Amino acid sequence: MFGIHDFALFVVSGILLNLTPGPDTLYVAARGASHGFKGGAVAVLGITTGCFVHILAASLGLSAVLATSAAAFTVVKLAGAAYLLYTGLSMLLARKRGGQDAQVPGAAQAAGSAAAPAALRRVYAQGFLTNALNPKVALFFLAFLPQFIDPAAPEKGVAFFILGCVVDFTGAAWMLALAWMSARVARGVAVGGRASAWFSRIAGGLFVALGVRLALADNG
């Protein structure tokens, strides 16, 4: 249908790729540990909707522009790297400066208490931008999806959209499970929020490293 072939192989391959650690899974794990399952689920929602930016871009052919234009790729890459650095530094410094994250103790969140709506909106926005501003995600869709679409298919855009949604939804299922596991682990080991605080700082340091890596990555 719509020129899609080897669909079962595509689903299995997509699930395996979703299991590969990256900025998205790191962010969900960090928010699940610091804000409980609800916060982790909100992070998943942000990442999933951010991924739709890349799905629509692939469907409309905009990802091809990103892949062929060095200038466009550099702009998006630097924007994504800057946001990863900002997110990482925010996670590193939030508890030291009594920021928004620090207002919600990690242990209490891991135990299932409700996070403030403002904090959840921030978690959602960070998840959305972390994915939407990552040009590597766009290039992934452009490189991976066409392998399962007939070159002669008359409606390639529809096929791109369907396959992209499949990857997005299977990824969301995995990340929801990760958010739940992170919240459970944090609830089991947190003592006065210290374990959650250290997890957030470690995740923040990794985000900074990912941001530097993305900024220095080749455009090819």
SS (H, E, C) 65-84: HHHHCHHHHHHHHHHHHHHH
What mean pLDDT do residues 99-124 have? 57
d(CA 181, CA 32): 8
* pTM for the whole structure: 0.71
Supply the pLDDT for residue 197.
Answer: 63
d(CA 186, CA 218): 37
Task: Give the residue with greater pLDDT, 156 vs 193.
Answer: 156
d(CA 80, CA 133): 4
Contacts of 47 (CB under 8 A, 6+ apart): 24, 27, 28, 127, 128, 130, 131, 171, 172, 175
3-state secondary structure of 99: coil
Q: Decide if pLDDT at 99 tops 50.
A: no
Supply the pLDDT for residue 187.
Answer: 74
d(CA 135, CA 74): 9
Supply the pLDDT for residue 104.
Answer: 41
Residues in the chain, overall count: 220
Contacts of 39 (CB under 8 A, 6+ apart): 31, 32, 109, 115, 119, 120, 123, 179
Supply the pLDDT for residue 124.
Answer: 94
Task: Give the residue with greater pLDDT, 139 vs 184.
Answer: 184
What mean pLDDT do residues 144-150 have? 81
Percent of the chain exceeding pLDDT 90 equals 17
Longest Cα–Cα distance in the chain:
60
pLDDT category, 78, cuts 50, 70, 90?
confident
Supply the pLDDT for residue 100.
Answer: 44
pLDDT per position as a tens digit, 168-208: 999 999 999 999 998 888 776 654 455 556 666 666 676 67
Supply the pLDDT for residue 43.
Answer: 94
Supply the pLDDT for residue 169.
Answer: 94
Task: Give the residue with greater pLDDT, 48 vs 65.
Answer: 48
Q: Decide if pLDDT at 154 tops 70.
A: yes
What mean pLDDT do residues 42-50 have? 95
Supply the pLDDT for residue 118.
Answer: 72
Using an 8 Å Cβ cutoff, are 39 and 194 in contact? no
Using an 8 Å Cβ cutoff, are 219 and 66 in contact? no
Q: What are the structure tokens assigned to 15, written together?
A: 């699930």
Using an 8 Å Cβ cutoff, are 158 and 2 in contact? yes
Q: Decide if pLDDT at 165 tops 80.
A: yes
Task: Give the residue with greater pLDDT, 173 vs 107.
Answer: 173
Percent of the chain exceeding pLDDT 70 equals 68
3-state secondary structure of 4: strand
Supply the pLDDT for residue 86.
Answer: 74
State residue 170 phi and psi, 5-degree precision.
-65, -35
Supply the pLDDT for residue 172.
Answer: 94
